Structure 1
């Protein structure tokens, strides 16, 4: 295994562990971070990570949906090319922070539903406490993510 392949596997393992992504999705991300040229066809990516092109389709689609990867075409070329979007990381993290805030609101509605002092509300309070704590670390006083 080359050093590049080992690093791509580290990226894959990280995203599998931290984000629950399938290993191939993490490999695609890792490859697109270090490949040259930065725009790669699905065939190029498949060759780089030693995967079948068929297994790439859904995974590339999910990465483009998150905004981490952009799809490009070239005039006169029917091939689609993919490139890691440098701004995609910020977009993905901002979405995660916004999602945490939105879930905090859902938890509040759950407490209203069952009553804040009900025994079963302890699970909601525990989750709300964690989401509130993480949100306070990520949002400065003006409410915008850091």
Structure 2
């Protein structure tokens, strides 16, 4: 294994990128390892990596990498690719972030039903409480109102830039 002192500037920059993406994923509600793995799959060569290789590159256990790989696969951000050996190999999937956003929008849609239920049980006797629920409901509804069009615009944008 290469020591940090033997790494080139590019390698150190790659490590910093991977670590920064780990922090971003953590802030978005995932795990740091999830972000680091996804980042590594964006920049590694070859683009398909084994669980053993990912564990070595990221400095985490193979069990942790296996768990994260399954989570990222279920979310549509990575895919398992055919391999000649017994070990699974993974690669990044384009469009993964859009899929994550679609899932988040679906959760917001479900939240509207819950907030409507909350408003129905409060009645008019608790204006402060009602105001907070209405504010939250209106914010979610506002975000959702253009989400389908946003995804369509994103699709068109990607097609034009491809």
Structure with the higher helix share, 1 or 2: 2
What TM-score results when the alignment is normalised by the length of structure 2? 0.76
SS of the aligned residue for 2:87 comes to strand
1:54 maps to what in 2?
Answer: 63
Q: Matched residues in 1 for 2:89 and 2:151: separation?
A: 34
Alignment of 1:63-82 (within 5 A): 63-74=72-83, 76-82=84-90
Q: Name which structure has the greater RCO, CA cutoff 8 Å, separation 6+.
A: 1
2:157 maps to what in 1?
Answer: none
Unaligned runs of 5+ in 1: none
Q: Matched residues in 2 for 1:65 and 1:9: separation?
A: 23
Name which one, 1 or 2, has greater alpha-carbon Rg: 2
- Distance 1:138-1:79 versus aligned 2 partners, 3 A rule: same
Unaligned runs of 5+ in 2: 5-11, 154-162
Structure with the higher strand share, 1 or 2: 1
Tell me the number of residue pairs that the alignment of Structure 1 and Structure 2 aligns: 142
CA contact (8 A) 1:97 1:145 kept: no
Alignment of 1:26-105 (within 5 A): 26-74=35-83, 76-105=84-113
1:130 aligns with 2:139: yes
- Distance 1:124-1:52 versus aligned 2 partners, 3 A rule: same
What TM-score results when the alignment is normalised by the length of structure 1? 0.84
